[in-house]
Structure formats: structure tokens, C-alpha cells
Chains A and B, each alone.
Chain A
Amino acid sequence: MTTSAPVLIYGNDLSALMAALRLVDLGVPLQLILPKPVQLCPQAGWTDGLSVSGPSPEELKNHVHDSLLKSMGLSDPAYLENMCAMAPEILQYLTRAGLPVERNVEGAVKRILGAEASVSRLLQSGLKTTQQILNILDSQILRFETSGHLVVHSGWDLVTPVISNDRQHLKGVIFKNHENQDFTILPCQSLIVSDVDGILISRLYQKGLALKNPEFLRVPKDALDHFRFFSMNASLGGLKTDSGHQTDVVGLYVSGEASASKHGADVPDGNRILENLYSGIKVAQTVHADLKKDHPVSGDRLLDFSREMNLLKQSQQQILDMAGPENVWRMRDELFMALHEGCVSRRDHESLNQALDVIHDLKERWPRIGLNDHAPFYNPEITQIQNLYDELVLAEVMILSILMRTESRGGHRRDDFDSTDDAHFLKHTRVTCHERGPEISYDDVSEYNQKMPDPFQTRLSPEVA
């Protein structure tokens, strides 16, 4: 059944904007929901450059090779190959749209050598290349908004997707409006989530979507006092999707930071931005192809929404009634400190268990938070109390996964297990949410990765992880 319902895209980051622009390019009607203006996307603080290999085939092979090497066997090789190959076209698009790039003495784009790179391929636009790209992509969004090619809603937070009873399809999405804290339901059949928060990762996990490699989630070094917690800057773990960014729920796609990186264990300089941009294009192309297929449509759409709405209103009321002695912002400080001491400055069995104890303590104290802000308008405290709950869930899963991966590999290190253990851990971690707690299991890597490519070999096989 074809539908005229627009695709919904949620997010204000590189991946969401590229997905929106690519879908406009492909002629697909869509609505873009920006939780905040693009200028306020946390990715604007990144200081990474953009890796784009030069024109010769050797340079491209080199780029792919460096990417695979850094991933330490946990990559999706075909995805990375396509990503590196598309980089020059992506650069052309961005520069045509107005992105300034630093130039060399002869006026061509300047390529510098990234850390551990064997060939110069890193481009920069000043110190904050990502912020520059975000501004340019935003100008294109504004262009299409003005011409009517896409609809933009600002200031809505995604609260939850509504999924069918059998957990098979997406039926709609519920948003909360910053201004008046009202909920808005949008029935929809295709939703792309691209979000730099850990919040949505946690919520979708709690709704039944699997996590991949959560031990590779990154805890920020400084205690940032923002709505988001994990500040998924260049996070490697996240929600599990296939190469096209589909989740197990038909119609629900996750791209960008919220999806587990196709780089696996670690990312070379300049590939973070590239992966984000490419993932936006990739998910848009997947959605475009999927829209042409038939989807079974289930009949009880409205009933499900009212059930979800009632649950949401109950949990909202629960927060409004909170009058305990705890302060949500100070509790977040405690969580940050515990994660920093348990997973960043030290990362061993003892420190991780100490962090876990703090998390359990905070979970137990969460109902005793007191809400100081009862205003029905622009109320960050209500949002933060719910967010803290979701952050605690994700933090616990992350620590349990770190504890179980008793080796060091790329972005995941263990001070007490400092070598890489391929025999046991050349695998992807999968975590699913159950009543009794998180269930952690391991999936084999692709055949290509199992053969552990010789670092000097640059020929690639097109297998997918």
C-alpha cells in the first residue's frame, strides 16, 4: 500500500539534516522535527575535520584500509567502503552549497595528515568544521522550507514512537512541545531518528530495540550540564540497525550517533563527520526504496495511541507530583562523577562495580526527587527528571557490557585486561531489555572480519557484517 503520509525525521544534527535534504532531492514528502535550532546541536562543538580521499584510486583504497584497520574487526566493511567512495561527492555537495574549506598555496582544498593516517586526506574549515557544515546544511533546509519542499516543526521533543502490539511496525510518534508541554501525536509509517542524546537510545531500547556494543558508548570528559547526558560525540555504540539503518521495527530507522557506528571499535580522524553525513544519505535512500514496497497495515491504530497517551500522562503526572528531598541536577552530577571515576579515569572491575553501586543507589532515590519547577511552559526540569531515569537505565547497561567484555579493543579499554582477545571477543555485543534486566549476548562478526585482514593487504571483499 502506498501512502501519502510524509516521512518524519527527528533530529537537528548532521545525519538528520542530510537525510532530510536527500529525501527532498528524491522527491519524498517529509516533515523535519527539530528539537532545537541547528546552531545549538552539540556536534557544533566538535573539533574534528572531514576525511575525503584525493582523486586517485590508491588514495581511496588507502582510506578504506585505514578505516577497517582502526575498527579492529568490528566494522561493516562494505558500508565503510561505500562511505569512503562517496566522500568526494559529499564534499562537492557541501562546497556547492557554500561550505568554505581551507585552501593550500595553489587554491585547492588543503589536505592534512590525520593521526595514524598514511595519506593526507583531512580537510578543515577552521577549528569547528562540524559547526560550519551544520550552518550550510541549515541554509539548505531554510531554502526548502521557504519553497515548500519540506515542513519544519521546531521545539518538539520526541517522547516515544508508538509500535504495534507484535512489535513489528511503527504506527506513529508522540512528541512533546517545549512551549506548553502538550503532547502531539502524529500517525506515521516511516520515522528516521537521528539524535545526539543518549535519551532516545535509552527509550528505544526500553521499547524493545536491541543495543549494539554499548560498552563503546563514550562518557564525556567534562560534566556538561545540558539536557543530553552522554553527549554522544563520536559514540561508537548505540542502537542496532542493519546496513540500511533499519531497526527490527518496520518503518523505524535510526541513523547518526544514535545508531551503533559501522566503524566498530574505533574511528580514524575525519571519519566521524563523514559517517554522520553518509548515514543520513544512506537512510534516506533506504526509506525511499522501502516506500515503494507494500507494507501490511494494521487496523487498530487509534486504540494503541490512546493507551500510549494515557501511560504518558500518568508518568507526566507522577513527575508533577514529585515532592521529595532530592534535586535532579545534583543527582546528575553524582551520576557523572560515578561514570567518570568508574569508566574514564579508571576502568577496571573494581571501579566499574563502584559506578554500578552508585547507579543502583540513584535509581532507588529517583522517586524521591522533588520538582521545583511546576510551570507549564518551557520547563526543562520536568524533562530532565524523565531524562535522568532513562540515562540511569542506559548507564547501567553500558557498565554491565563493559564488565563483560574482558579485553581492550579500540574505544573500549580495560585497565585490568589490557590486551585484545579475539578468541573470545571478536564479536558484536547485543543487549535487549527484559523485565528481569538487560540480556547480553554476542553476535559473530562478518566472514570478512573473521579472516582478520592482513594490514598490508588492500583488496576488499564486498561482504556485509
Chain B
Amino acid sequence: MPSHFQITILRQDHTDLKPYPETFEIPLKPRMTVSDTLKHIRRFPVNINGKVVAPVVWQDACVNENCTCQFLVGGRVSSGCKTRIEDLACPVLLEPLSKFKVLRDLLVDLSPLRQARQKLKAWNDLSTMFADHVLSRQSHRQSEDQIRLNSCLSCGACLEVCPQYNQRSPYGGVEALARAALFQQTDVGRLQSENRQAILRSRVGIEGCDNAQNCVRACPQGIPLTEVLVGLSR
């Protein structure tokens, strides 16, 4: 293993300013990830020309294997905390996700995901907080399916790889569809599923999908997104 590697990061100081590349030379340690690299740069914020720079900014909140840091590494959507430098071709190219507004450096604005969930009404309507209710029976398999759907972290990877998802199209993306699908499957949500039928079948919903199946490969949580899409289109 070489002692150092080079990484070029596409930086951007502000949404309205132009992006620019900046290269760093970093000591390579075994099992070092892309996120480890960013953490190193904070501690030693000197670029390859010896200039002291502002440390690179990213969404630094991954905890215990829950990954929320998605980037384009060598042009491919990758998880920052799970991608090892030793598995990459060097020099490494690190860019923010391309389908979302860049706030700064690698930090992007993921609020469109929340807005899509609003459009699809990804929740159960309840009367009050405490009410009479008999817990319905569900099979273990059903609960497992729902647990998977509910493990989404809104990281944006599925939307980044989707050829149908972009700023110009009304398609809300599979993330919101998966969320809506979860509630459709719950006992309360099933009763309310008519409220969502129209929007789910529209171009905002399932009609926007063209079956590329990139999403399921990109999801860091392993959510069976294509099964969701098939289920909703029945």
C-alpha cells in the first residue's frame, strides 16, 4: 500500500459561487474511508500546494452504520463512510451529488425529499394521540418488509442515480414513494389509501418511474425499492 494518495474535491464556497477543484495529499491508512479523509483534512487543512485552506464541509452525521453522507466518488454515487480509499483508483475525484442544490462544498440541500413526502402524504391520519385501538395482527414477514421500508435515512442516493429524477420533472422520486408505500401497508394507512391513489398514480408518483432499477443498487440501507415500485403500480 502506498504511503499517501491524492484526492481532488470539487469545492464550492456558496450556492451562488462557482465550484472549483482543490487537491490534497493525504497519508493513507488501512481501511481509511472517504469520510476519514475529510476528517483528516479538518485536522490538517493544507492543500497540495502547501496553502492553508478552509476545511471541506459535508453532512457529518453518520452514526453506527446509519449512513447519510452520499457523494459522487469517481463519478459514482458512493457512501462516504463505507467507501475505502484502498478500493479506489487514485487520484480520487470527490464531488457532491449533482441533482441537488449545493449549499457548500459537499453539503447539498435535500429538502426536496421532504417536499415530495408532503405531496404523497407519507403519514397516517390519526384522530387524537391516545385512542382505543386493537393492535392488528401481522405476520413476521409483513413486519420485516415494513421495517425495511421505514429504515430510509433520506440520503438522496436513490434520486441521484435515477435517470427520471431531475429539477425539471414533476417526478417526486422513489424515496417518497417508498415512504408512502410503508403507510399504505399499515392497518390504519390501508383504510386511508384512497387519499393517496390519485397522486401515487400520477407523474409525481409511479408514472414517473421508467424501470431503470438503479435505485435499489444505490440504497445504502438495502431497501427493496424496486419491489415497492412494482407493488404500487399494481
Query: Shortest beta-carbon distance, B19 to chain A, in Å?
Result: 14
B97 proximal to A (CB < 8 A): no
A448 proximal to B (CB < 8 A): no
Q: Which of B13, B114, B123, B189 contacts A377, CB < 8 Å?
A: B13
Residues of A within 8 A of B139 (CB): 103, 107
The answer to whether B103 and A126 touch across the interface, beta carbons within 8 angstroms, is no
Q: Which of A93-122 contact B (CB under 8 A)?
A: 93, 95-110
Query: Shortest beta-carbon distance, A55 to chain B, in Å?
Result: 11
The answer to whether A93 and B54 touch across the interface, beta carbons within 8 angstroms, is no
The answer to whether A131 and B151 touch across the interface, beta carbons within 8 angstroms, is yes
B167 proximal to A (CB < 8 A): no
Mark B112-144 against chain A: 1 for CB-CB distance below 8 A, else 0: 001001100111111011110101011110111
Residues of A within 8 A of B107 (CB): 378
B182 proximal to A (CB < 8 A): yes
A386 proximal to B (CB < 8 A): no
A29–B215 Cα distance when bound, in Å, is: 40
Residues of A within 8 A of B121 (CB): 143, 146
Q: Which of B60, B110, B130, B151 contacts A126, CB < 8 Å?
A: B151
The answer to whether A329 and B42 touch across the interface, beta carbons within 8 angstroms, is yes
The answer to whether A377 and B14 touch across the interface, beta carbons within 8 angstroms, is yes
Residues of B within 8 A of A126 (CB): 144, 147-148, 151
Residues of B within 8 A of A8 (CB): none
Q: Which of B44, B54, B64 contacts A375, CB < 8 Å?
A: B54
| Consensus secondary structure, chain B interface | loop
The answer to whether B54 and A98 touch across the interface, beta carbons within 8 angstroms, is no
Residues of B within 8 A of A142 (CB): 114, 117-118, 122-123
B152 proximal to A (CB < 8 A): yes
* Also in contact, A378 and B64, with CB within 8 A (given A98-B182, A132-B147): no
Query: Shortest beta-carbon distance, B84 to chain A, in Å?
Result: 17
Q: Which of A253-285 contact B (CB under 8 A)?
A: none
Q: Which of A133-141, A303-311, A314-322, A405-413 contacts B (4 or more CB under 8 A)?
A: A133-141
A190 proximal to B (CB < 8 A): no
A93–B154 Cα distance when bound, in Å, is: 24
> What is B's interface to A at a CB cutoff of 8 Å?
13-14, 39, 42-45, 52-55, 57, 59-61, 63-66, 68, 103-104, 107, 110-111, 114, 117-118, 121-126, 128-131, 133, 135, 137-140, 142-144, 146-148, 150-154, 179, 182-183, 186, 188-189
7 contacts between A and B (CB under 8 A): A25-B128, A40-B61, A97-B123, A98-B183, A227-B60, A327-B42, A375-B54
